[in-house]
Amino acid sequence: MVESLKRNEKISRRGPVVLVIMDGVGFGKYKEGDAVAAAMTKNLDKLFSISPWTKLKAHGLAVGLPSDADMGNSEVGHNAMGAGRVFAQGAKLVSNAIASGDMYKGAAWQKLIGNVKSKDSTLHFIGLLSDGNVHSHIDHLKAMVAEAKKEGVRKVRVHALLDGRDVGEVSALDYFDPFAQYLAELSADGTFDAKIASGGGRMVITMDRYNADWNMVRKGWETHVLGEGRQFSSAHEAIETLRKETGAIDQDLPPFVIAEDGKPVGTINDGDSVILYNFRGDRAIELSRAFDEPDFKEFDRKRWPKVEYAGMMEYDGDLHIPHQYLVSPPAIDRVMAEYLCATGVKQFSISETQKFGHVTYFFNGNRSGMFDSKLEEYVEIPSDKVPFEQRPWMKCAEITDRVIAEIESGKWDFIKLNYPNGDMVGHTGVFEAVVCSMEGMDLQIGRLKDAIDKAGGVMVITADHGNADDMYEHAKNGDVKCYDDGEPKAKTSHSLNPVPCIIYDPEYKGEYSKELNEGLGISSIPATCMELMGYVPPADYDKSIINLN
């Protein structure tokens, strides 16, 4: 339990503090491809002109990732914004556990390796094959396959998902071809047999989140576990063929099965061991449930092999999903919401399905459920199940409708919401759609401003990382990379750019300086919001963006 916060005796407002998280909206480095700058955002432009604002770091070391070369993401961003401090995150934890050898000494790894050795069965790896370092890293996989061989495992099969989202949109062969060669070299001495067994685009199979589309997980199960689906002789052949037939970018490629003489090379069977090597939780929970739950009902598994299954990490600490995992997640404690509940602060959290878990689970330090149901309310607006470029406004109007109603109700002291537009539409790579998504979101921010004016509240506008601000691939000299036909190469991954923090306070009375602190990260958001609500933040929270007078 945490202690209640003390009043700062400085700030008091009639209305609530409203935290608006514009997911995936940063300050672009280049004019070309910056869909945020290209959009007509009259309301944001006005807020920038009349309000104090600054830029915040939202990537790399500022959110607990291994280096400043690592892009931020929605998971670590919301962790930082909820915790008020920076914790070492998934990628860094896993890299350290592998480098030190601690992961291989752990009970889960030893159990899974011992299982396949004692039964002369197969060790399977499932996950995203890239170096995006958001959900997984290919170096982690390569290290584990090499260690498995070293420890006497004889047969390994890899079920590899195409990225094209955290890395270049058609970069899959840059990872699949060298990795296939790597496996072939490990297998060359005849004592070891390692192959790619299946695959597909990450937005088509396996990696659904927040129960948005269990059909994706069903397709993944049928592909990876049952070996059902279109067969190819190699992953290279599958990727090239499916690209030509569909015109799809990597994340949207259909599933495929690698076969020899018409027989899949890597179905998952009784006695095998399976490792889901993604370290990020949101897109790993559903497949983990399919492997772990005896009474699973989300889809017909057809066959449920008796395997030893482990995730790279524990993806849900409250529900203990999965039952076994290789590396313990960061122990994020004393988060903002817990302090506010201990202080009696009434809180309302809302987003649509795609980011609902971010303003609840991730914001609360990877914790499911509320700290105090009498003081909190969570609302999820169901997302459309269509490609986001076809509905780029997403559910920002519906989210805003509800937030305005809650502001007018006078029930809440703190409201937080996430507009997913910049991130989810940004990942499609469709520039025009991203511009549309920004303009749709801007209209809603204008509506929120009017509600804040009437209620006498404060609106803090920020983001968890960049994306929409960097929609084209650029060369080192800054030039846009183009296809042969002159069309710019779309960038579908997050950016390394800073994000905004605007403080709109229509009833400002001079309690703090309008010269905001600079050089801070998004982990400074909690201390800032606490001070704006009239409280003294915990002493070890990262510095507030405002300076009280």
Structure tokens at 91: 């990628």
Whole-number Å distance between alpha carbons of 515 and 51: 10
How far, in Å, CA of 310 to CA of 275, rounded?
Answer: 5
Residue 373 neighbours by CB under 8 Å, 6+ apart: none
DSSP state string for 456-525: T-EEEEE-SSBSTT--B-B-TTSPBPB-TTSPBPB--S-B---EEEEEE-TT--SSB-SS---S-BGGGH
Q: Specify whether 368 is catalytic.
A: no
Q: What are phi and psi of 530, to 5 degrees?
A: -60, -45
Closest among 375, 378, 377 to 342, alpha carbons compared:
375
* Residues present in the chain in total: 549
Separation between Cα atoms, residue 153 and residue 145, nearest integer Å:
9
Helices (runs of H) and strands (runs of E) counted in the chain:
17, 16
Interatomic CA distance for residues 393 and 368, integer angstroms: 28
Rounded CA separation 379/90 (Å): 27
Angle formed by the axes of helices 42-50 and 431-455, to 10°?
50
| 32 CB-contact burial (10 Å; exposed 0-12 / middle 13-18 / buried 19+) | middle
* Distance of alpha carbon 435 from alpha carbon 421, whole angstroms: 10
Catalytic residue among 74, 121, 273, 493: 74
Residue with tokens 């993806």: 315
Residue 286 CA to chain centroid, in angstroms? 15
Catalytic residues: 74
